[in-house]
Chains A and B, each alone.
Chain A
Amino acid sequence: MSKRVLDVTAYTTFDYLQGSAAGVDWENEGIMVLNVDSDEESGVVRLSTELDPLDLERTEQHADHVELFPDQARTLASKLREAADRADMEVDDD
């Protein structure tokens, strides 16, 4: 069984990212899908990730979901922006 759990369409936030799953003494690198959407029923923002099924060696095929209240999602967005600015500066410094 190697089905994708997440939909991957033109509306998916990122259909191709480098990612990994890690345990205490192992790491499983692979291509990852990341999607952000809002759950219509509960009014939360849902951030979902999934490693490509065939890249998995150590874990079962699965997707991870994090639910964020709108304020938490905005905090995450601003943290991502700050981190992105720092990453840009580090690249410039190099």
Chain B
Amino acid sequence: MAHKKEDIKGELYGDEVREKLEEFAESGWESIPADEREEWFTRFKFWGVFHQRSGQESYFMMRLTNCGGVLEPDQLRAIGQVAREYATGPIENPEFGNGYIDFTTRQSIQLHWINLEDVPEIWEKLEAVGVSSRSSGGDTMRNISGCPVAGKADEIIESRPILDEIQETIREDDDLCNMPRKFNISVSGCRQGCAQDSINDIGLEPAWKLDDGEKRTGFNVRVGGGLGGREPRRARPLDLFVPREKAVETVREFVEYYHELGNRENRSNNRARFFVDEHGTETIRDDLDERLEFEFEPAGRDFRDEYTYNAGKPREEGPHDHVGVYEQRDGLNYVGLSVPVGRLTAKEAIALADLAAEYGSGEVRLTRRQNPIIMDVPDEDIAPLLSEPLLEEHTPEPSPFVRGGQACTGTEFCSLALTETKVRLTQTLRWLRNNVDVPDDVSQIKIHYSGCTADCGQAMTADIGLQGMRARKDGEMVEALDVGIGGGIGEDPSFIDWVHQRVPADEVPGLLKQILEAYVAHREGEQTFREWVDQMGVEAIIDSTEPMETDYEDPCLHDAKQSWYPFADDESPAPTRPDGTPISADD
């Protein structure tokens, strides 16, 4: 029997949802019948409109979309202006105030505290500059990830035209809007591996073949990768090389294949990675071979051994992220900022857009590490750009801790999470910067924090991965973290192993300090953190470290009770009208 969400989607989904959403927005939050909320919220997600968690009724998160992280000139400014005007809630965040944007790990942007009534106006403002929220949530193809500097930096194979074609012909095809579950596509064209094809449902990675002594480039195809604490998977090779001109139809065929045959009954194991487990790569390859008209070739030689993006390799082998100043192939430069935990205030977002226009072409691109990049900056403008206040705050030369931090949304807005994430990691990174000395050659300590095992913060692939949990301390339930080490992407992706579990949140920085000091003391030469963990083994690190209180003060240790907002003492005013007045007050 099909899952009930299939019935909901079967009745109305995809582009048609928009009209209905606009009707509800016109007549207000209260016009959604209480017993129909669940089904409408399921449908709204296709249009990037997500109802926030319990206690925040009538407020929505809006996720915007793009392709491969590209924001054309003026788009970020419009997003910042929308955040300033509409993404303001009934309570301030202690670090970020009110009105901010979140960069995501899928090169996207999220806005919070949106009132349903404002959605049509927001769409109008964003769509006027070409920004959409379509297909950014629900059971559909999510942001297609690619190298954020594709087309500007050196690539083995040009990926920008392929990304754009996949976006226009596959993702925007309303016939494919209703997938069995969310579906992730990535295309890598560069040597760094920064599209992280290994953790996508289908990933194209550059490869080459030798034909009569002549090198021919194309893509190897991998399928069935994904994170999520329950059974993460590396994408598995199909032993299939496709020439550039066959890349898009191959992706389309796999999307259609999963669209037709994916499990629509049991949502607990119907992501494409489980589909690949069930069918096996050989069968999938044979089936695709039958469905596609061109002749299949075995995999070509890949470039995975050159991948450096979050690969834990020494920095002389290549960049491990996009933070810093890098030369483009056209002689201009791109400047990657470091935004801790991916959150910028609306004011900063507008300032960033202004700087991008003043010093570069106005284009801003987003990475998979929650950071923005200013594109197309001439050599002579680099120094004045770097001395701008925003780049002193979100410097391209940050401490390794700030540089490596990323976090999911957490209990601030997410109903799945067990702990708060963004403020806690911001304060933890600051504490580490002030309390742990690392040698100058250490430029990468990737600390990723997810609020639960769903792992949207990608803790599994971090040097130090943190996942939200709960523990008992001094007789009370407190927010706690599972702490693991040794993950990363690169040629051979590895997932973290836990070193301590259910560590009360206020004891985590002390534990991290010990782990980092052990690394600094015992590393050989300029060994990276991941190399050191590989050599030391996890057991030795478990035995030599322990959770410990320090002078770090946790921002919400006792919110394990999950109040309506992690930093609130008062009752929730929700649901409210767009002007913030509680709806119940008038009843």
Give A residues with C-beta under 8 Å from B.
Answer: 1-11, 15-16, 31, 37, 39-41, 52-55
Q: Please, could you name 11 A-B residue pairs with CB atoms under 8 Å apart, sorted by A?
A: A2-B497, A4-B229, A5-B230, A9-B452, A10-B452, A15-B469, A16-B477, A40-B268, A41-B265, A53-B498, A53-B501
- Residues of B407-437 whose CB lies within 8 A of A: 411, 415-418
A9 in contact with B418 (CB, 8 Å): yes
Contact B418 A31 (CB under 8 A): no
Q: B417 contacts which chain A residues (CB < 8 A)?
A: 9-10
Task: Identify A40's interface contact among B3, B469, B562, CB under 8 A.
Answer: B3
- Alpha-carbon separation in the docked complex, A66 to B562 (Å): 29
> Which residue on B lies nearest to A18, using beta carbons?
B472
A39: chain B residues at CB < 8 Å are 266, 268
The minimal Cβ–Cβ distance linking A73 to chain B, given in whole angstroms, is 17
**Known contacts A2-B497, A2-B538, A11-B416, then 10 further A-B pairs from the complex at CB < 8 Å, ordered by chain A residue:** A1-B497, A3-B498, A4-B229, A4-B482, A8-B452, A8-B469, A9-B453, A37-B268, A40-B266, A40-B268
Contacts of B538 in A (CB 8 A): 2
> Chain B, 561-577, contact with A by CB distance < 8 Å: what is the 0/1 string?
01000000000000000
0/1 string, B482-501, CB within 8 A of A gives 1: 10100000000001011011
B416 touches A10 (CB 8 A): yes
Q: With the chains together, A37 CA to B416 CA distance in Å?
A: 15
B268 (CB) vs chain A CBs: closest residue? A40
CA distance A57 to B3 in the complex (A): 40
B470 adjacent to chain A (CB < 8 Å) = yes
Name the distance in Å between B471's Cβ and chain A's nearest Cβ: 7
Q: Does residue B216 face the partner (Cβ distance < 8 Å to A)?
A: no
Bound Cα distance A54, B501 (Å): 7
A2, A6, A10, A39 — most chain B CB neighbours (10 Å): A10
Among A5, A8, A11, A52, the most chain B Cβ lie within 10 Å of the Cβ of: A8
The reply to whether B268 and A3 form a contact with Cβ atoms under 8 Å apart is no
B495 touching A10 by the CB < 8 A rule? no
Known: A4-B229, A9-B416. A31 touches B453 (CB 8 A): no
Indicate whether B246 reaches chain A with its CB closer than 8 angstroms. Answer: no
* CB closest chain-B residue, reference A63: B230
**CB of B329 within 8 A of chain A?**
no
CB of B502 closer than 8 Å to a CB of A: yes
Cross-chain contact B477 with A10 (CB below 8 angstroms): no
Chain B residues, CB < 8 A from A40: 1, 3, 265-268
Shortest Cβ distance from A15 into B: residue: B470
**A9, B562: Cα distance in complex, Å:** 12
Q: What residue in chain B is nearest A53 (Cβ atoms)?
A: B498
Interface positions of B from 523 to 540, Cβ below 8 Å from A: 538
Q: How far is the CA of A39 from the CA of B265 in the complex (A)?
A: 10
Closest-CB distance, B409 to chain A (whole angstroms): 12
B232 to chain A, nearest CB (A): 8
- Closest-by-CB residue of A relative to B452 is A9
In the complex, residue of chain A having the shortest beta-carbon distance to the beta carbon of B500: A54
A8-B453 contact in complex given A15-B469, A16-B472, C-beta closer than 8 Å: yes
- Tell yes or no: B438 within 8 A of A by CB: no
Asked if B454 is at the interface (CB within 8 A of a chain A CB), the reply is yes
Closest Cβ of chain A: how far from B173's Cβ, in Å? 28
B230 and A7 form a contact (CB under 8 A):
yes
Whole-angstrom distance between the Cβ of A31 and the nearest chain B Cβ? 6
Contacts of A2 in B (CB 8 A): 484, 497-498, 538
Shortest CB distance A4–B (Å): 6
Say how far A24's CB is from chain B's closest CB, in angstroms. Answer: 28
User: Which residues of chain B come closer than 8 Å to A53, judged between CB atoms?
Assistant: 498, 501
A52 touches B268 (CB 8 A): no
Question: A36 vs B229: C-alpha distance in the bound complex, in angstroms?
Answer: 18
Q: How far is the CB of A43 from chain B (nearest CB, A)?
A: 8
4 residue pairs, one from A and one from B, having the closest CB atoms = A9-B452, A2-B498, A9-B416, A41-B266
Q: CA of A10 to CA of B453 in the docked complex: distance in angstroms? A: 10
Most A CB contacts (10 A, CB to CB) among B267, B477, B500, B502 go to B502
CB distance from B476 to the nearest CB of A (A): 12
Tell me the nearest residue of chain B to A37, going by C-beta.
B268
**Alpha-carbon separation in the docked complex, A7 to B497 (Å):** 16
Bound together, the chains give a CA A55 to CA B495 distance in angstroms of 20
CB distance from B499 to the nearest CB of A (A): 8
* Bound: A74/B477 CA distance, A: 30
* Residues of chain A lying within 8 A (CB to CB) of residue B500: 54
Nearest neighbor of A61 in chain B, beta-carbon distance: B498
Chain A: CB-nearest residue to B267: A40
With a CB–CB cut-off of 8 A, which chain B residues contact A11?
Answer: 415-416
Cα separation A52 to B411 with both chains bound (whole Å): 22
Contact of A6 among B230, B454, B469, B501 (CB under 8 A): B230
Whether A9 pairs with B501 at a CB distance below 8 angstroms is no
Chain B residues within an 8 Å CB radius of A9: 416-418, 452-454
